[in-house]
Structure 1
Amino acid sequence: MLDDKSIIDLFHERDEKAISETEQKYGKLCYKVSLNILHNEQDAEESVSDTLLKLWNSIPPEYPICLKNFILKIIRNLSLNKYKMKHSAKRGHGEYEVVLDEIKDTLPDTVNTNDILIDSIHLRDTLNNFLNNLSTEKRSIFIGRYWYFESISEISKNLGLSTSKVKVVLFRCRVELKQLLLKEGFIV
């Protein structure tokens, strides 16, 4: 299996082997992230294919610093867009709605901001600082839930923790994040 730099170089050389190497290395992870959002195997497989196509069209000109994060951002956004499109008129049954409901009172309302670009940079930096100050375990729980849309039982299984501990950590993290955002001047 090739390292990420070699895969990126294949994309820049327009070598179709880049697609197969990417799928071999990150296909299962992409599928898992998409399935957590969509809860539909066919839609998740389609999102993985769409991600590979988007990668092909993005690299070049892009040269991602971290291929894994670049890919995961694409699959997550494509899956969220697909979910919104399919469920625009009705509520879904997956983790997406549950996760958004959990965190909606924690994150700032960007509609009320004067300068969206400056606020989004400030928000990004604040979130990164928040995550960097969490223990590895808490960060894994928080990111698993709110970035990868993993269920609480899946997080507890993956980390060998009780579901009640995961719930408590998530609650406390949301409280800490809300306090930090308020301190930083965000309206939540």
Structure 2
Amino acid sequence: MHVSELPKGVPTQMLIGGSWVNARDGATTEVIDPATTEMLASVPLATEADAMEAVTVAYEVQPSWERRAPRERAEILRKSYELMVERSEDIARVIVLENGKALPDARGEVAYAAEFFRWYAEEAVRQSGLIQRAPSGSNQILVLRQAIGVAVLVTPWNFPAAMATRKIAPALAAGCSVILKPATDTPLTALLIAKILM
């Protein structure tokens, strides 16, 4: 595969607040195909100001996401699963190009990655509390499962789809807004997943 074989529509900008943007200072980094050492794309190298903007936006939308009914969050996650399955071949091809995995392994990763959205779609409606007796027997302990705020997620290069969805899905199911910082070596997979989920 060569640069021209990247699936159509693979984003090469950061997604902040629903908009595709470049780094404020214009800094970029190259994404290299490890099989050929050819440059696949140039992507923004976020600055501290870019990161703070992402945090601010995620913090501002956090209350509205948390207030969504668990069933509504579940339906969004279920639809995310379906969209990933529909575009699974494109995602697998991007993994091959930027990560160097064999295509059958990349396809397996995408199937595994999509399953996190389906699993947590089902878990989103099962968030419950728990009251139990303390070990001393003299008190009651209340466990309340609730969103804790913005989830800042960092993923490694070796499973660029699965490690992203493995972190994104439970955070969204719980009612947390999300910021994902993919590995610098393999950002295109995460960017394509973000585009699919928009």
* Pairwise TM-score range, normalised by the shorter structure: under 0.3
Please state which structure has a larger fraction of its residues in helix: 1
Question: Structure 1 length as normaliser, TM-score?
Answer: 0.26
Question: Structure 2 length as normaliser, TM-score?
Answer: 0.25
Q: Higher relative contact order by CA 8 Å / sep ≥ 6: 1 or 2?
A: 2
